[in-house]
Amino acid sequence: MTSIIVVDFGMGNLRSVAKAFEHVAPGADVMISADVSDIRAADRVVLPGQGAIGGYIKALYDTDLEPAVLDAAANKPFLGICLGQQVLYESSDEHGEEGESVKTLGLFKGHAKHFTDVSSDPQAMINPQTGHQYPIPHMGWNQVKQTMKHPLWQGIADMARFYFVHSYCLQSENEADVAGVTEYGVNFTSATARDNIFAVQFHPEKSQHDGLKLLENFVNWKI
C-alpha cells in the first residue's frame, strides 16, 4: 500500500489536502503528520501551506522538520503546494526586514516577490480592460500554461484553470525548472519541476477535476 504523508506545520487546511488524496487514491494510506519518522518512512511526501512565508519558515525550524523535508525532497516523489512551492526557492520578500528577504530552502534558484514589485513598469498591474489595478491577493481561477511535458500534466489540458490565493509570486531564475507559467498582470512561475520534485503555486485540492487529476498523477508517478 502506498503511503502519503501530508507534512503538518500547523498552517493551512491540511485536512482538505488529505481528503483530496483519499478521494483519488482510496487504496493509499494518507496521513497528516509532523513526526520525522513518519516522513522518512512515507513513499510520497506532500508539503502544503498557506499563510505567510515568515511564519512558515519559523514553523519548519521550530518543529525540527527541515532535515526530514530536505531528505524527502532529495529521495522520493515530493509535491509542494502554495507556500510549499515558494519555500523550495532561495528567498522571499514577504515578512523580510527592510531591504532584506526571508531566506528559504534554496533547492531552486529564484525569489518570491510581491506582485507589485515584479515589474519596473507601473502599468504592469493595471488591468487594461478595467483600468484598475489587479486585486491583490490574486484569488480565484486562472490558467496555467504548461512549459514542459511532465507525468503530472497527463490528462490535463494546456491552459487549464486552477485555483490560486497568494500575494507573492515566484520568479524562477532557471527556465529548465519551470513546468508552468501564469499571467496576472505579470508572468510568474506557477509550477516547478525537477527530478522527483513537482511544486505548484495553486491549490489542486480546490481545483476540481484538473486539480484532482494532478493529485492522482502524483500518486501514480514513477520516478
Residues with active-site annotation:
82, 203, 205
**Cα(118)–Cα(135) distance, integer angstroms:** 15
**Cα(190)–Cα(130) distance, integer angstroms:** 24
The one-letter amino acid at 138 = H
Cβ atoms of 60 and 54 within 8 Å: the answer is: no
CA-nearest of 12, 63, 5 to 33 is: 5
Cβ atoms of 121 and 187 within 8 Å: the answer is: no
**Cα(160)–Cα(65) distance, integer angstroms:** 34
- Total residue count of the chain as it appears in this document: 223
Helix (H) or strand (E) holding 179: strand 178-184
